[in-house]
Chains A and B, each alone.
Chain A
Amino acid sequence: MNHNLPEERLARLLDFMGKVTASATHEIKNELAVINEQSRLLQEMLAMAENGREPDPARLGQLIGRVVVRVGQADQAVRRLNAFAHGADLDRGQTDAAHSLQKIMGLFQRPADMKGISLELAAEQGPALQVRPILWEQLVWACLEKTAERAASGSKLRVGMSKREGGLRVEFCLEPPAPVEAPPPESLCLPEVQVRAEGDGLLVLTTPLA
């Protein structure tokens, strides 16, 4: 991992990784809790069948179908967390910005759900960035947090990424609009990236292209 980062930057990075991990594991634990309840109910229905109370086949089928869906959701959450964890292994290299945005927005879904806001991503398949993936992802997470800070329940947080001359343009804004108080701390910025408040949202500009 990034051992040559200044202490404050490293502390913020650990904080970010802690938040993402806590949120993702909470999501996984919730899925497991539901799967546990559904499996136990199935077990109890079978036990009742042994005592002469016939289970409703339609209800059994519905429960088993739901278990399969929840296992799939838990698996997706584990995959997202695993992909995120491996991003920390990578040093400065070619970061696929669109893929990275998609990954972090997937991980940000739970905090967004807790605030009652939905997420929308419109990203052109962009060029790769010459940045450390984990630091870019930390910056994206911070922009999502800052934009979501003042969102009312029912809002939509939109992220749009497009190519611009010499780099990428990523916009974060709310619908209905609510002004972002301040951009993320400067210490999160990367030499290749600028972040500023623009209109009611945040604008991230990157250079150079890989």
Chain B
Amino acid sequence: MAPDLPPAGQPPRLALQDVGKAYADAGTRVQALAGVSFEVPAGALVALVGPSGSGKSTLLRLLAGLERLDSGRILVDGQPLVESGAVAYMPQRDLLLPWRRLIDNLTLGLEIQGLDRTEARARARALLPTFGLEGFEQAWPPALSGGMRQRAALLRTVLLGRDTLLLDEPFGALDALTRLELQDWLAGMWQAAGWTLLLVTHDVEEAVYLADRVVALGPRPGRVVLELEVDLPRPRDRGLLGSPSFGRQVGRLLAALGHPSGLA
């Protein structure tokens, strides 16, 4: 079941128009992104795939307001992106502060916003069971497993109260089984909560399995090589992974990214 599409005429949650970004690396100018355009409709799950060097993380950092673009425009609900704060950004590493217990890591964003500590903790506690973190609020981050740390980082992001989430390879550092488990968990959370998700991954199968739309970026300079509307029913399960349709869509993406196995 596809999410309800926004009525025609409503601007997309995120719109990137001809976005360019270059940075200096050891004295040479590297074009990270060259004319990238795509849209993320409100309520959609869009995946951004591409090899390393295709500027995926740079794109997210631009959207998070952590870097400025050199050319083009980024629109949020039709309005120009002015500063950080419009969307919630979850970096690649979980970045839990080692000197804060789990509960105080979760409330970090709320504290920054100036919310009262008791109220902030109450909000975090209410979501602990959903995120599989019940009973660990007093734990120090190093005592948590990789999957728990990642779910904690996501909960910290969610608590910022912004319903557009940018996730930079949220499953990259996890073992294979935890990864599969968290993918399904995230898909369920997204459907239940009605978030708009932009998910960066280098795993094409993960992208097709999770997303409504996959944007493939080619490397150096990063540019869109294919936009694929994923044609798979929801809710999805692992059985889809063996279907010809799934294999075809993964193949198209791999071909667009220049991978030989995609040409078949």
- The answer to whether A and B interact is no
